[in-house]
Structure 1
């Protein structure tokens, strides 16, 4: 996570234990900000978030358990915002440390031991850390998830105990219980949510609507959109139109929503062509299959990434295995870049633009999973470096472009036990090694 020209990340090494780190991109400028007393448990700071130049995150210490913290980049300036749940119980969730910024306020899911899981807001001070809305009073359930901002409104997935997971919104300027409401009960059956969301189904905003995977109880899990009103929350297209029979209907399960210009790309299964690449302009007629890449099964497009005016992704055409592809949104312009692993799958992923090329992780079947790059033209892809010697894999991931450099995490020596060979790299240079995996949350937790 970049904040004010500095990269922040979490890591563990023998000297410092579980800690928050920072780097200016050089070896000498990579150092510990603060260590945390975790009692030896594997609890590493998570959910790193840039809020107008202040770093917010969730961290664990044995005395307070999981709580919301903030940092200005110094040890003395790294402090708990407030102990929301006093004592050794969680005030925030390690697994749901999902933050959003609106009008100078951080919104998050918290538990103060009185109200149970609820939506909270803070300006970074204990005095102004207050509950916004309690979806399920006096229970541990109902914690808001996947918050994001569209316009001047906060949206999140909430469960009030009756409707299941549905979209909710919180409006200003007060951002309190009176201005918090459900957008629409999409699937009206009792305790059956109309929103299906996880890390592969994050909503994407396009032209005053956000797009997501929804289910109304009749058409299965399909592509939906919302402008924040009940009337404007609607299914875009019933991609898998298999008829509703005996309480079951076909579902295309759209996922991996990625915006390139004014086109929304995603993968979906129409029950005819298998799971393939689709695109939408937000209308039913403009929601179409881009290309049936694998005409004998599923091409399973994955790791979709917008690079300029093109979409990069991995797919299996049924002949060459899982390899890197590129699309301009047309059938003829959707092509495999290169069959990197001639004997199997390269599993190309983490496509990231740097300079005039796109860098990614791939396995050629000889050197293991290593750092690759491409200009995007057919046949052009090459190994950058075999970081882990021989056929061992360095598993490059967490790519981040910063200060004219490409930064990523990789394992430089698999002979060192228990992850001691993990390191932060700048393209061409090892910056710092760690005992346990290091995370660049701007990419990894997205």
Structure 2
């Protein structure tokens, strides 16, 4: 990654190497408030999950958790202090929301990593007899079983990063910690669960997922070989090195998928320099698109462009840049203003981002001298300065959790927000101010704090406070929409 010093200096001013494009700031639009829910009756509580005798879970082990769609059936977990973990399934009704199997001796957070592969669910669970191992379920108690006891007896296998590839699940294992890094696959049978490759002790795995259909892409790093892209199709022969990306061990700081099946990712090299890459899983299709001076974050891909963000040198705003998926075409789209500029610690940053309904969304936090942001707002763009605006300023300002941004698949985005008169509640938007509003005020006292939105068929399930006992399982139609009436638009 050889980039001249002049390029780095230029990049520190926000654009990096390439042509200079006029920087037009995004319009400042005050958020629209509303006095009532915009979709009365659309949201319903499916079921309270915690039993009456159970203590409330900690924020680190919420109940329900790991909401996962397995071909039209919702599965989720409940870790109950001190030593019970329960796998659940739901058809969206209270009567059809039932426990599948209980595991004892799991301790805290013993059940997780739920991964759908066809009609089956793979997961990891800690059990008093087998330790922490790989299990599979067809949704019945009898059909929920241990796949293979890789570390015999109550000893635990160090398994992580489950991902479906075709009709098998792939995962990484370290027989001992520290120890060699191994890639495994399983079809749900003991005979069909075996190691694909032993990478030895020198490699480190970069945990970010690179989404490309039909294969698993991953990045390995070591002192001798630097940073390299690998792929697997779930077979030993199909597990191969794709391309060496850098001679050093450089951090990968984000990835995203595109609507053309490509994956994009960014690497931060010394300098500092941010490199934008795309890949289709082949050597020829893995190319560096552009380099930017400074540290930029990846927002996502939209309409043949990759979008990135970086605070301006003075912290007065968040600069949005783009580069073509075809390579080149570097440009500044706009600068989102920071209305707290100049106050102590008030630097803008991006918490999370996603694409929904042909628009790119991101939550922008404004820092403080402490760990929690002073404000988090929702922004959206169609890729132009005139099509970039603010949709809300009441997103979660916790230093431990952020408001989810969820693509419903129906052209809209679900998120959690407060308008100042309610706590955090579920909101929906199609990217316009006129159709951005609260779906329902589920908990008038304090807010319901909705999280873990998951679509199953035409329904979106989520976790939120129930007013009775901790969080519960809730649901709403995926196509829920909102048309608000301005209360004090300014």
Q: Please classify the TM superposition score into its range, dividing by the shorter chain length.
A: 0.7 to 0.9
> Does residue 373 of the first structure (1) align with residue 425 of the second (2)?
no
Matching of residues 158-307 of structure 1 within 5 Å: 158-159=220-221, 162-163=224-225, 166-170=228-232, 175-176=235-236, 179-189=238-248, 193-197=249-253, 201-205=254-258, 207=260, 209-215=262-268, 217=270, 220-229=273-282, 233-240=286-293, 250-252=294-296, 254-256=297-299, 258-268=300-310, 275-294=318-337, 299-307=348-356
Q: CA 1:323–1:33 in 2, change beyond 3 Å: closer, same or farther?
A: same
Aligned to 1:106: 169
Q: CA 1:165–1:92 in 2, change beyond 3 Å: closer, same or farther?
A: farther
In the TM superposition, residue 338 of structure 1 has moved relative to its aligned partner by 4.2
Give me the CA root mean square deviation. Answer: 3.6
Q: Which has the higher contact order (CA 8 A, sep 6+)?
A: 2
Select the residue among 126, 131, 143 that pairs with 1:77: 143
Contact (CA 8 Å) 1:10, 1:21: kept in 2 or not? yes
In the TM superposition, residue 427 of structure 1 has moved relative to its aligned partner by 3.3
In the TM superposition, residue 365 of structure 1 has moved relative to its aligned partner by 3.3
> Does residue 2 of the first structure (1) align with residue 63 of the second (2)?
no
Q: CA 1:160–1:180 in 2, change beyond 3 Å: closer, same or farther?
A: farther
Q: CA 1:5–1:16 in 2, change beyond 3 Å: closer, same or farther?
A: farther
Work out the CA distance in 2 between the residues paired with 1:225 and 1:56: 30
Contact (CA 8 Å) 1:150, 1:208: kept in 2 or not? yes
In the TM superposition, residue 133 of structure 1 has moved relative to its aligned partner by 0.8
> Does residue 322 of the first structure (1) align with residue 376 of the second (2)?
yes
Work out the CA distance in 2 between the residues paired with 1:299 and 1:15: 40
Q: CA 1:75–1:146 in 2, change beyond 3 Å: closer, same or farther?
A: farther
Work out the CA distance in 1 between the residues paired with 2:411 and 2:185: 41
TM-score (norm 1): 0.75
1:370-402 Cα offsets, whole Å, 9 max, x none, are 222335322553333332332x23210111233
Work out the CA distance in 2 between the residues paired with 1:427 and 1:337: 22
1:151-196 Cα offsets, whole Å, 9 max, x none, are 6543212245633553222357xx22x553433333314xxx2342
Contact (CA 8 Å) 2:71, 2:118: kept in 1 or not? no
Contact (CA 8 Å) 1:210, 1:226: kept in 2 or not? yes
Aligned residues: 393
Q: CA 1:43–1:424 in 2, change beyond 3 Å: closer, same or farther?
A: same
Contact (CA 8 Å) 1:166, 1:182: kept in 2 or not? yes
Matching of residues 325-340 of structure 1 within 5 Å: 325-339=379-393
Aligned to 1:121: 185
Work out the CA distance in 1 between the residues paired with 2:386 and 2:137: 49
1:236-258 Cα offsets, whole Å, 9 max, x none, are 22222xxxxxxxxx333x234x3
In the TM superposition, residue 363 of structure 1 has moved relative to its aligned partner by 2.3
Work out the CA distance in 2 between the residues paired with 1:218 and 1:146: 23
Contact (CA 8 Å) 1:227, 1:233: kept in 2 or not? yes
Select the residue among 105, 113, 132 that pairs with 1:66: 132
Aligned to 1:422: 471
Contact (CA 8 Å) 1:119, 1:144: kept in 2 or not? no
Work out the CA distance in 1 between the residues paired with 2:126 and 2:155: 10
Work out the CA distance in 2 between the residues paired with 1:84 and 1:375: 48
Matching of residues 401-420 of structure 1 within 5 Å: 401-413=455-467, 420=469
Work out the CA distance in 2 between the residues paired with 1:311 and 1:149: 18
Contact (CA 8 Å) 2:357, 2:410: kept in 1 or not? no
Contact (CA 8 Å) 2:311, 2:349: kept in 1 or not? no
Gaps of 5+ in 2: 1-67, 368-373, 478-490
Q: CA 1:65–1:270 in 2, change beyond 3 Å: closer, same or farther?
A: farther
In the TM superposition, residue 328 of structure 1 has moved relative to its aligned partner by 0.9
Gaps of 5+ in 1: 241-249, 429-446
SS at match of 1:81: strand
In the TM superposition, residue 127 of structure 1 has moved relative to its aligned partner by 0.8
Q: CA 1:149–1:409 in 2, change beyond 3 Å: closer, same or farther?
A: closer
